[in-house]
Amino acid sequence: MGDVPEARRGAPARGAARPAEVPGHLPGEAAADLSTLRSHNLGIVLRMLRDHGTLTRKDIEHATGMVPASVTNLVADLAARGLVRDQRGGFGEARGRGRPRVTVEQVPDRVLGLAVRIERARLTAELHSSAGLLLDSSSRTVTHGWGQPGDVAEAIAALIARAATLADAHGGILLACTVTVPGPVGSDNRIADTLEFGWGHLDLVGLIRAAGAPEQLRLDVVSDSCAAALAEHWVLPRPRPGVTVLVGTGSGPSLVGGVVADGRILAGGRGYAGAVGHITVDWRGRSCECGSIGCVSTYVGPDALLASARLTDLAHMAGRAAALDELRARLDRGEKRALDVALRAGDILGAALRSAYDVVNPSTVVLGGYLAGLRRWLEPGIQMQLAPRSEKLAPVTIESGRLGSRAGMVGAARHGLQPVFDDPTIVPALRTDDAAVG
């Protein structure tokens, strides 16, 4: 289900409990149901604070339809776990009797998630808090790529140890480590064979645990583009759509993307969903690196675009990013070849998105990475191709990515920290002398 939308419509949140009405003793099963309900309600309150920043207890009552005693009780529970705290400041506008306004906010550094990105010659780590703060970042390069997966697993275990020490220093807990890779990852956390590493199907999580990562740490591997889709979804203007498709992120040679549904990565039954770059646009077309034929990536991927614009030589000399900048400059100057290339790219991308439209029915398509700067020229073609479906059924908004190359890391951290918003009781209570509010 979605995060809190029902709450914002002013109706009681689904399953909102009134703990005060619960009788004293219950058979085992009923007690278990109530504890699930309580976790659910704690999650509703914590997600509201994540999405709105600070709120008064009254705000929470109004939005959820819970009675004051329940809200007070739930906030006290979250505070006892060190997840939220009272903020006294400002004065109530209406009353004006000198009583300071008390708002509730997330404790900024109680629950932390580590995001680690593996690239061909670099390992980057960022430590994020559940309140969205970036607490630490580090990066190391390797000269000849990651020869042995065990080497990268050991390096990640060391990053986890460093993050756990930092979490301790903040009085927080390191909940999760999410590793992103530039390729597909199955639902079993295994990295599928990627051209970048040539590792085959690999249990990286097992290797990282063997290298010393603690058992209780949540450890996940996701594709960088799916993580980027998650991050771009959450920075969209409200109300956020049910389904967001991201295309064009990454720094590699091909077009990658991801799909987010109900605020989470849409991974599909086996984990490989969201590969929008490999939607077929010509079944007798060009061979794709994925093994398929006629994928949209072979026409609209960065290298394909640069080849069409006759900028491949520049890409070899100055790098892909510089060549894409040159394409953009030529478009700004209105050069005919560049315009032809971009307009045709919009058509082809639109045809691929029309296929996606009928499968996942997105309300927003985000053009990320190298496509973000080309939106002006791509959007007319995309909308024209979508029109036969979107005009009859429901429109699609096209947005530019807002996070650039940071999207994957932000999304990875968000993915790892999601469990605390689903069930805040996974965070233990503080010792009583540390609790923030009563």
Q: Which residues of the chain form contacts with Zn ion (CB under 5 A)?
A: 278, 288, 290, 292, 295
Q: How far is the CB of 294 from Zn ion (least distance, A)?
A: 8
CA dist 403 and 401 (Å) reads 6
Contacts of 427 (CB under 8 A, 6+ apart): 81, 82, 83, 110, 111, 173, 175, 420
Minimum Å distance from CB 123 to Zn ion?
Answer: 27
Residue placing its CB nearer to Zn ion in the complex, 172 or 257: 257
Cβ 208 to Zn ion shortest distance, Å = 29
**Beta carbon nearer to Zn ion, 70 or 223:** 223
Q: What span, in angstroms and rounded, lies between the C-alpha atoms of 233 and 389?
A: 23
User: Shortest gap between Cβ of 329 and Zn ion (angstroms)?
Assistant: 29
Output the smallest distance, CB 132 to Zn ion, in A. 34
Q: Which is nearer to Zn ion, 72 or 292 (CB)?
A: 292
Q: How many Å apart are CA 232 and CA 246, to the nearest integer?
A: 8
* Least distance (Å) between residue 261 CB and Zn ion: 22
- Residues 420 and 429: their CA atoms lie apart, in Å, by 13
Nearer to Zn ion, 182 or 241 (CB): 182
Q: Which of 187, 188, 244 is nearest to 399 (CA)?
A: 244
CA dist 9 → 75, 237, 239 (Å): 21, 17, 11
- Nearer residue to Zn ion within complex by CB, 295 or 378: 295
CA quadruple 181, 184, 190, 191: dihedral sign: negative
- Specify the residue, 43 or 252, whose C-beta has the smaller distance to Zn ion: 252
Residue 58, both tokens: 């009254």
Q: The tokens 């289900």 sit on which residue?
A: 1
